[in-house]
Amino acid sequence: MSAGSVLVPDFLTPDGLPDCVSYRSGEVPDDATCSRVGFFVPDYIDAPNPEWMQKLPNLEVVQLPTVGFDAALNHLPAGVTLCNAAGVHEQSTAELAVGSIIARWRGIDRAARDMTVGRWDHRRGRALQEATAVIIGAGGVGTRVASALTALGARPQLVGQTARAGVLPALELPQLLPVADIVVLAVPLTARTEGMVDRAFLSMLRDGALLVNVARGSVIVTDDLLAELPRIEAILDVVDPEPLPPEHALWSAPGVLITPHIGGDTDAFPRLARELIGAQVRRWRSGEGLLNVVRGR
């Protein structure tokens, strides 16, 4: 059994969790509190604080509130177990991906801008029915995107690093990309995926194809994407750099719809995260195996 305090953001603190210290964003705990912490939940996107791991001498477990874990790895002390929030954000992220595709193809983003000047501009949009979609990343987000697109009459194909039932290997991308109407990026950021979408990748996309990134911004080489616009279009919930500076060329690039990394952040997130954190703390304290381990035991 493991002992020690739990350090968790106040809005993610499960009800009735004993020996739990809640903190507000940007509020650094004192040394006495840090010395007691065995289980740490970093803050969410707006105020990430993975560097706190180095201040917690008795740390055993880090439970991230995100599915992505790349930002935490450089701060993870030896011997500490790192878990992500698989199961918390996938549905919401898939909803954003599919909703953004519909918004772009049906001109909803353009119509919203037209409203500000009272312009009525009827244009024919594109339908998802029979559209071909290549979804790169066959985890929780990718599979939910595929299910939603199937329900709307599209023809999705999942692509993973290796082949399995319903999933084609990444080696087949040169054959898949040239015939795709939509390409969705739903991969974790790793040494393999960083910069994966470069000029060579983008050059394989057909004219008018729609690239959707709900993974991490640096999966795409931003300058290479800018060079391909508006031959192709892009929906970006994540960008590189992030946050995107006001003067950046992507803001005014033709054929681009940008959202500020909101994929997993819905009103379902705090509830699901609290449930996961509570379950993980109970497992940790009882010696039961932890869920969603990405580094460590």
- 3 state DSSP class of 197: strand
Q: Pick the catalytic residue from 144, 261, 274, 297.
A: 261
Q: Pick the catalytic residue from 216, 271, 282, 297.
A: 216
Annotated catalytic residue 75 = no
Which residue do the tokens 């509190």 mark?
33
pLDDT attached to residue 27:
87
- 3 state DSSP class of 297: coil
* Residues 246-267: tens digit of each pLDDT: 999 999 999 999 999 999 999 9
Contact yes or no for 155/132 (Cβ under 8 A): yes
* Residues 192-218: tens digit of each pLDDT: 999 999 999 999 999 999 999 999 999
Alpha carbon distance 72, 108 (integer Å): 37
Residue intervals of the chain classified under CATH 3.40.50.720 are 5-88+267-295, 90-258
Alpha carbon distance 274, 188 (integer Å): 23
Annotated catalytic residue 261 = yes
Alpha carbon distance 86, 88 (integer Å): 6
Fold annotation for 90-258: Rossmann fold (3.40.50)
Q: What CATH class is the domain 5-88+267-295?
A: alpha beta
Residues 233-241, mean pLDDT to the nearest whole number: 98
Helix (H) / strand (E) containing 175: helix 173-176
Write out the two tokens for 273.
């995260």
- 3 state DSSP class of 219: helix
Contacts of 286 (CB under 8 A, 6+ apart): 1
**Predicted confidence (pLDDT) at residue 1 exceeds the cutoff of 60:** no
